[in-house]
A and B are shown apart, each in its own frame.
Chain A
Amino acid sequence: MAESTMKPPRKTLGPIAWMRQHLFSTWYNSLLTLLVGYLIVTSVGPLLNWVFLDANFKGSEPGDCTGAGACWLFVSQRLNFFIYGFYPDELQWRVDVMFLLLAVAFVPQFIERFPGRKWLGLFGITGLPIIGYFLVPGGLLGLEPVETTKWGGLMLTLILAYIGILASLPIGILLALGRRSDMPIIRGLCVVFIEVWRAVPLITVLFMASVMLPLFLPEGMNFEKLLRALIGITLWQSAYMAEVIRGGLQAIPRGQYEAASALGLGYWKKMGLIILPQALKLVIPGIVNTFISLFKDTTLVLIIGLFDVLGTVQSTVTDPAWQNVAVEGYVFVAFCFWIFCFGISRYSQNLERKLDTGHKT
């Protein structure tokens, strides 16, 4: 029983030993370490100065930006426009409620032991869009209507991305299943749908949705530009999603299908309980990749005259009252996108770790 008392050898290194092993193991490794260190020191210092130390945070007018660093006044003065677009000030609480609900539903997803986080997540993909459907456009339940032409900024970016993501996943799943179906008509339709939408650039889709579609639709059947853009984005995204998911479906061994069939599970139960949970887990990185690129692609709605967060910033950096604030504006936009995309990415990593059930058979 000697082996039961043996522990695996500990592998700890002091900081000096760690550095010697990882940073200075050979002469060229040492050289690279020094070079990279030099570059970091020379580039990060000025960056920090520009962003924080020399930056201007106080005041309210362009003239208050006297320091050498960034002029954040520009962003803070226009923040309302960047976040809500032309949404009326006195009604912005409705959007704030949605931001709050979004945070309540999804921030706990990053906290491992948060009680009831599953239910909050479920609310986030069911209740939240329903509430948003009534609250943001208004017009019902005594809420003053706000036309979609007034929506803009970060709020519009989030609406486009959120609905695009939420709707494209189930449609993508159905398309992927259809493409692997035994029924030739269904398979054919799915193949055509996927190949047509995937082969078209999103810009073209948006143009078609905003300019061409109204020409073909009968008089009076026209609907909102935003809705048309949303449908275009969702269908376009679904085609990509379908191919990502099909990759996962193909990776599931035939034995899994057979075992499920042999147990008497019908098609939908077999897919829903056995095949999809495994296939989706396998392609989480691909799905997240698609989500993130969709999130960023929403900026293209600018060309059909919708002002997402990038659009609102772009339209203000040319304001003659403010000189040379373009960099600050774009850094702000970049930061907005980074926060959300990084969040999606982190969440998916948590999910992958949680779903790992040991090596495959």
Chain B
Amino acid sequence: MGNSMTEQAQIPETQSPSASEEGKPDIIRVEHMHKWYGDFHVLQDLNLTVRQGERIVICGPSGSGKSTFIRCINRLEEHQKGKIIVDDVELTDDVRQIDTVRREVGMVFQHFNLFPHLTVLENCCLSPIWVRKIPRKEAEATAMEYLERVKIPDQANKYPGQLSGGQQQRVAIARALCMKPKIMLFDEPTSALDPEMIKEVLDVMIELAGSGMTMICVTHEMGFAKTVADRVIFMDGGEIVEEAPPHEFFNNPREPRTQKFLQQILQH
């Protein structure tokens, strides 16, 4: 469906992929990472290096391990073999290191996962106040700035249940940004939305990409990938099958599995 939608969401060429990140330091390093669910080898020997400010799009068929992969990056899932280093901190069982990493990594979920018993503003301020120990006044001011940026400052005192899906997802993005993270992870942020709401969320994400945030997005919005991504990663069966800049990825995919996948999603 959403292809015509994402076409409208494109931004001028100036913000398209560039090599300007070349000299920047690495912020995420994943080395020979494996993960099992019981006996099921869900992630197999993943390697990925992300430089500061890079925008990565991950796509692949359902069940290929995309969500599991990005959830390993903030330790919502633990890996059993290999290394994950985020902002020079290696993710191990050490709770303090996990906490340190989670402060630097924001996450946006497919189903928003806003806290229904708190207002929009309280959702946004919660973590700055309780985790970063920022005074309430200051946290609220910051939250309002971000709500402004995602274009819903007027909904600040409503409860999530009173908002539309697109609005809720924008609140979720603002909530993650309020922690001033260095990295943002998106797990299919538009998949649960009605078609007419996809654009408003993508617009916010494009704006964010333009501001230099390091982003890893699992998404099937190919228009978004073409516009914003520095690299597109294709996963299948728990492996990274192909990794390429978007024009190469979409115009000459090397692997047959990638070609087949692209045919399927670009057909309709």
Chain A positions near chain B (C-beta within 8 angstroms) = 253, 255-256, 258-266, 269, 273-274, 277-278, 281, 355, 357-361
Contact = CB atoms under 8 A, between A and B. Distances in A.
Given A255-B111, A361-B160, A281 B117 contact: yes
Which of B111, B114, B115 has the most A CB atoms < 10 Å from its CB?
B115
B130 A274 contact: no
Given A263-B175, A264-B103, A357-B159, 12 more contacts: A255-B111, A256-B113, A256-B115, A258-B113, A261-B102, A265-B130, A273-B130, A277-B117, A357-B116, A360-B161, A361-B160, A361-B168
A357 B161 CA distance: 7
A278 B103 CA distance: 24
A43 B105 CA distance: 70
A262 B117 contact: no
Interface of B: 74, 76, 95, 99, 102-103, 105-107, 109, 111-117, 126-127, 130-131, 159-162, 168, 175-176, 179
Which of A255, A281, A355 has the most B CB atoms < 10 Å from its CB?
A255
A357 B74 CA distance: 30
A262 B161 contact: no
A283 to B, nearest CB: 14
B195 to A, nearest CB: 19
A277 B117 CA distance: 8
Which of A258, A277, A357, A361 has the most B CB atoms < 10 Å from its CB?
A361
A274 B127 CA distance: 11
Contacts of A253: 113
Contacts of B113: 253, 255-256, 258-259, 361
A277 B116 CA distance: 10
A138 to B, nearest CB: 43
A266 B179 CA distance: 15
A264 B183 CA distance: 14
A358 B161 contact: yes
26 contacts: A255-B109, A255-B111, A258-B76, A258-B109, A259-B107, A259-B114, A260-B115, A262-B74, A262-B105, A262-B106, A264-B102, A264-B127, A265-B126, A265-B131, A266-B99, A269-B130, A273-B130, A274-B115, A281-B117, A355-B117, A357-B161, A358-B116, A359-B161, A361-B113, A361-B116, A361-B168
